[in-house]
Structure 1
Amino acid sequence: MRIQPQKKPSSIRLTPLLLLIALAAVGYGVYLFGSHFEGEPPVIRASIGAAWNPSRETTVQIMDRKSGIRRVQIVVSQQGRDIQLFDQLFEKNIPKTLALPIKMDPRKHRISEGAAVLRITVRDMSWRGWFHGNKAEAVFNTVIDTKPPRINVLTRFHNIYLGGAGLVIYQLSKACPEHGVLVGERFFPGIPGMFKNPLTMAALIAVDHKAGAGIELAVTATDEAGNPAKASFPYHILRKSFRRETITVTDAFLQQKMPEFQLDPSLGEHWTPVEKFSHINQQQRETDNRKLGEIAKTSASSMLWDGTPFLRLPNAAPKAGFGDHRIYLYRGRVIDEQDHMGVDLASVQQTPVPAAQSGVVVECGDFGIYGSTVIVDHGLGLFSMYAHLSTISVKPGQNVRKGDIIGNTGMSGLAAGDHLHFAMILRDQFINPIEWWDESWIQNNITGKIQDIRSLEK
């Protein structure tokens, strides 16, 4: 009789599979345990500063990307009283992030001006803390401030030409992180430190040479609590006409100048010289002027010049004026139009160029259409620019005094002949240099105003 071998139970063959299932179950249990007992607290973000106006909406950002947000409580405490602004327990649709707009009526909640504490408490869905979750708390010690600052404009007259500049001096009732003068849509920040009273500010301002008749000027201020204020003042915008000039672009000029400018081959590999000129005169000019504006955003907070008139290039004849509207012709055809935002002065070739006033060199070197250029910061947002130089005698960061030689005239950049292109810039706006050569104008519009306010402080 033949004995058949006994087959092993199938359970023995299933043992590896059962082991894998058991390991997976254990892993999943560890995952669940770890996720429910995660120990990372929620994140709270709120812009509550040293001063706070609760009647202005503030957004509180809350985030818990692991277990989610369980409960949020927001309480204001003042003089022993707690006022609950928000309290919510989330049991369904557990959020991972929240953006809560917080706003309250101080009168309704009997909140007064003065010290207060804002406390934001958040718990998440973690099982830690005996199933109460991880806790995060943000405490802001602040001052309730609902009153806007008062602005008192101290200077009495402000007569400003199109393309010209002026000075406004004003006093604030309290410290404000942002304040200055709005000229249309342009903002000119006020500068402290020129007077004994730390709340007395001075702002150099400018009116664009193309500004319309209805342009508005006003002093604005926003305090630490975000309360805004605005004050008007007397001003008169004086109209000014600017010359129109026709410039003929010759083939000789194009052959001489266009090779000096290197363009991206993808832009103009097959351009004719006149097409290249049009691009440089438009796009490169815009690029250079934007760069100038960026440079002029950072200026010394004190007046670096001595209050006397700015120097003009000695023994030089004016060749072009500020605001001249130039029409460029090539073979009788108009190819471009641009405004000339400086004064061109010509003397003998490679004439030494003096610094117009004391200041700090902030830029020197090649500057696109302006060629070899030096830019000097005179403080309070005021800069002078010296372009088309043949040589440069200064370096960035160097202090210069009025009359120091900074270079020599030339014809670098987009210049047809040896001359100095002299420009003045206030913040990011070109202004008429002629005013700054005029002693009477400076006395009446700048230094005289400063002297008047300082005399009142004695």
Structure 2
Amino acid sequence: MKKGLFIKKNRPVFFYFYLFLLITTGLLYIFSSNYFERESPVVTIENNNFWNLKKPIEFTISDNSGIKEYKIILETENFKKEIVHEKLFERKKSLKVVVKSPHILRSKIYKLNNKYINLIVKIRDISKWKIYGNQTVKTFTLKVDTKKPYINIIEHSYKISRGGSALVIFQASDENFQSIYIQINNGKKFKVEHFIDNYYISLIAWPISEKYFKATIVAKDKAGNISKVYIPLYLNNKFYKTSNINLSDKFLQNKIPKIANKLEKTDKCTNTINCFKYINEELRHINEKLIQNTASFKSYKFNFKPLNPLKNAAVLASFGGHRKFFYKGKLISESYHLGLDLASYAMSKIYLTNNGKVVFAKDNGIYGNTLIIAHGLGLYSLYAHCSSFNVSLYDKLYPRIIHL
């Protein structure tokens, strides 16, 4: 007698082994194949959480399998609007997305009581994981700031001379200050000192090598808003003496080798002329760069008195002299004399008339034993060719004898 319409047959063992192998292989393929990649897309923003609605916001989107589509939604307390939506037909694992504020929405944003907005980024990749792929949703909250920093000049020096300096005092304020400085026409920036609420002071200089001068106060906030105010100084294009100096064989043969023996890069000194050029140009530039870098530390307190380092000294060479060096009638080198040469009797004492801090105290090439003292407000005094000094680096100094 039949027990049913169908008769169950015993399947061979290899059938179940094959089925197990097929399932295992399929699972391994799903978990290892890029088509079923399981990592979610990544999005970053090139921003510091502020937006002035003028400068575009830049996003970086990346994914291991490739990006399928992305959306960016702008959300405020009053409305929500999709401002970007793109589907990619070409496989890209990384891309930059630049977002501009929609003109149609700016008026609504300006009227907001809460000056914060959200940029919601939604990304989906091309992976087949969970059929629809991996998705990332990330919200970036930005503070809207469209107001430029406020700058008002309170007082400034009447004029500035080429090779000289000037003082400026101004008021500046902003809720989200990022930086403030004074920039001159050659691109050099001068630090400003904050000495009382919203008030700043700075010493600026007209480089002697520049034929023209213009100084501008620049204030930037974190949203990228910039204010610039020109400082209306009277320009005195001061004349400096130009000296034509003839180099003798005796000077080149006696003095230059002595200096060259102290140099590390003796390969520059193939002959006395090349050696002189190296010392007067390249080495001078290296030494002056070291001085400029040393004289860039910020200091706050300042109270100046006239400098009088050597009493009853005679001036041998003035600041700013343009020196041209000739050998047998041919111009071989030139430089500016950026100091004041004072002469007194041997081992004269140097007197400090202002408080200060030692920021450099060692040999500096053509300057010899050099002492640089910071007095505050970006003012430094430099003493070169000292036989010795009885102070050390970072010593705090007060008006007294500093050299014996």
TM-score by length of 1: 0.73
Partner of 2:286: 287
- Show the counterpart of 1:83: 81
Comparing 36-45 and 143-152, the one that deviates more: 36-45
Residue equivalent to 1:206? 205
Distance of 2:96 and 2:331 partners within structure 1: 56
| Alignment pair present for 1:306 and 2:308 | no
Deviations 1:63-86 (A, max 9, x none): 22x212233222222114223222
| CA shift for structure 1 position 404 | 4.5
Are residues 404 and 32 of structure 1, via their aligned partners in 2, closer, same or farther at CA, if it must alter by over 3 Å? farther
The residue that corresponds to 1:326 in the other structure is 323
Does the residue aligned with 1:154 lie in a helix, a strand or coil?
strand
Superposed CA deviations along residues 436-457 of structure 1, whole A, max 9, x for unmatched, are xxxxxxxxxxxxxxxxxxxxxx
> How many equivalent pairs are there?
374
Cα deviation, residue 127, structure 1: 4.1
CA displacement at 1:374 relative to structure 2:
1.9
**What is the rounded CA distance, in whole Å, between the counterparts of 1:162 and 1:100 in structure 2?**
48
After superposition, the C-alpha distances for 1:138-183 in whole angstroms (9 at most, x for unaligned) are x333221222223211115531111111111222241421222232
For 1:263, the aligned partner's letter is: K
**Displacement, 1:50?**
4.2
* Alpha-carbon separation, structure 1, partners of 2:271 and 2:28: 74
Corresponding residue number in structure 2 for 1:237:
235
Identity of aligned residues (%): 26
Give how far 1:95 is off: 1.1
Partner Cα separation in structure 2 for residue 105 and residue 224 of structure 1: 21
**Pairing 1:234-383 to 2, within 5 Å after superposition:** 234-249=232-247, 250=251, 251-265=253-267, 267-268=268-269, 271-300=270-299, 302-303=300-301, 305-330=302-327, 333-355=330-352, 357-383=354-380
Match of 1:216 in 2: 214
Quick one: distance in 1 between partners of 2:384 and 2:339?
A: 10
Contact map agreement 1:48 1:140 (CA 8 A) in 2? no
1:171 aligns with 2:171: yes
Q: Secondary structure at the match of 1:93?
A: coil
Q: CA deviation at 1:194?
A: 0.7
Cα 1:120–1:391 shift into 2, 3 Å? farther
State the match for 2:385 in structure 1: 388
Which amino acid letter does the alignment assign opposite residue 260 of structure 2? M
Displacement of 1:248 in angstroms is 4.5
The answer to whether the 8 Å contact 1:179/1:189 transfers is: no
Q: Is the 8 A contact 2:287 2:366 kept in 1?
A: yes
Measure the CA separation in 2 of the matches of 1:61 and 1:242: 55
Aligned to 2:71: 73
8 A Cα contact 2:83 2:102, kept in partner? no
**TM-score using structure 2 length:** 0.82
Does residue 54 in structure 1 map to residue 53 in structure 2? yes
Q: What is the CA distance between 1:226 and its match in structure 2?
A: 0.7
Kept in 2: contact 1:52–1:143 (CA 8 A): yes
Mapped partners of 1:378, 1:73: distance in 2: 57
Secondary structure of 1:242's counterpart equals coil
Cα separation, 2, equivalents of 1:361 and 1:42: 54
* Structure 1 residues 273 and 156: CA distance shift in structure 2, 3 A: closer
| Structure 2 Cα separation of the partners of residues 73 and 264 of structure 1 | 64
Which residue of the partner structure matches residue 434 of structure 1? Answer: none
Matches of 2:294 and 2:306 in 1, distance apart? 24
| 8 Å Cα contact 1:373-1:385 kept in structure 2 | yes
1:340 CA displacement: 0.3
Other-structure match for 1:183: 184
Is the CA contact 1:365–1:392 (under 8 Å) kept in the aligned structure 2? no
Matches within 5 A, 1:14-163: 30=29, 33-64=32-63, 66-90=64-88, 92-105=89-102, 108-109=105-106, 110-112=108-110, 114-128=115-129, 131-135=132-136, 137=138, 139-155=139-155, 157-163=157-163
* Counterparts in 2 of 1:243 and 1:58: CA distance versus 1, 3 Å: same
What is the alpha-carbon distance in structure 2 between the residues aligned to residue 264 and residue 131 of structure 1?
70
1:323 deviates by 0.5
Runs of 5+ consecutive residues of structure 2 not aligned to the other structure: 1-20
Which stretch shows the higher mean deviation, 40-49 or 273-282? 40-49
| C-alpha distance in structure 2 between counterparts of 1:262 and 1:211, whole Å | 32
Equivalent residues of 1:362, 1:375 under 8 A apart? yes
RMSD: 2.9
Alpha-carbon distance in structure 2 between the residues aligned to 1:209 and 1:264: 31
Task: Answer with 254-263 or 105-114: which moved more.
Answer: 105-114
Q: Residues of 2 paired with 1:374 and 1:307: CA distance?
A: 19
Q: Residues of 2 paired with 1:313 and 1:121: CA distance?
A: 72
Q: Quick one: distance in 1 between partners of 2:27 and 2:92?
A: 24
Aligned residues of 1:183 and 1:216 also touching (Cα < 8 A): yes
Q: Aligned letter for 1:117?
A: N
Q: Deviations over 1:294-332 (max 9, x none)?
A: 3333322x13x4222233322322111110111224455
Q: Could you say which residue in structure 1 is the equivalent of 2:14?
A: none
Distance 1:136 1:129 in 2: 17
- Bigger mean CA offset, 180-189 vs 274-283: 180-189
Residues 310/230 of structure 1: CA separation in 2 closer, same or farther (3 Å cut)? same
Which structure 1 segments of 5+ residues have no match? 1-21, 409-458
Measured in 1, the distance between the counterparts of 2:160 and 2:199 equals: 22
